[in-house]
Amino acid sequence: MSQNHEGTRLLPIEEQEPGVSKGKPAVQGEAQSQLRKSGYYELHVVSCDFHEGVLTLRGRVSSFHLKQVAQELMRQLDGAEEVNNRLEVVAPSGSPRNGGDSYSPDDSAET
């Protein structure tokens, strides 16, 4: 436990009262930490921005699976009321895969 320059007691994140929202640096830091712990290198470079309860993910990943993994990791965070997953799914060459994660009936295999 520490005090700020005005003598107000500051609680470490793990000791904060339930229901007290965490600040931007704490939520963004936790988000980045979770992405780094995932074991997927591509998620290590995803950017996170937290504003008014909404955590936004930005960057590029090579599969819809990784986009989903990132979102699921963020759902476990305290402090973020909503996750805005703006990750773009791109082919390994860097070009978008048919507009990202959208599905078109033309993409299905013919029978």
Q: Is the pLDDT of residue 110 over 60?
A: no
* Digit-coded pLDDT (tens) for 35-59: 999 999 999 999 999 999 899 999 9
Residue 22 DSSP code: P
**Predicted TM-score (pTM) of this structure:** 0.63
Q: Where in the sequence is the domain holding 35, given as residue range(s)?
A: 21-92
Residue 65 forms part of a structural domain: yes
Q: How many domains does the chain have?
A: 1
The CATH number of the domain where 34 resides is what?
3.30.1340.30
Residue 55 forms part of a structural domain: yes
Residue 3 forms part of a structural domain: no
Which pLDDT band, with edges at 50, 70 and 90, does 1 fall under? Answer: very low
Dihedral pair phi/psi, residue 43, rounded to 5°: -80, -15
Residue 80 forms part of a structural domain: yes
Residue 14 forms part of a structural domain: no
Residue 101 forms part of a structural domain: no
Cα distance between residue 82 and residue 17, in whole Å = 20
Among the ranges given (38-42, 74-78, 100-104), the one the predictor scored with the smallest mean pLDDT: 100-104
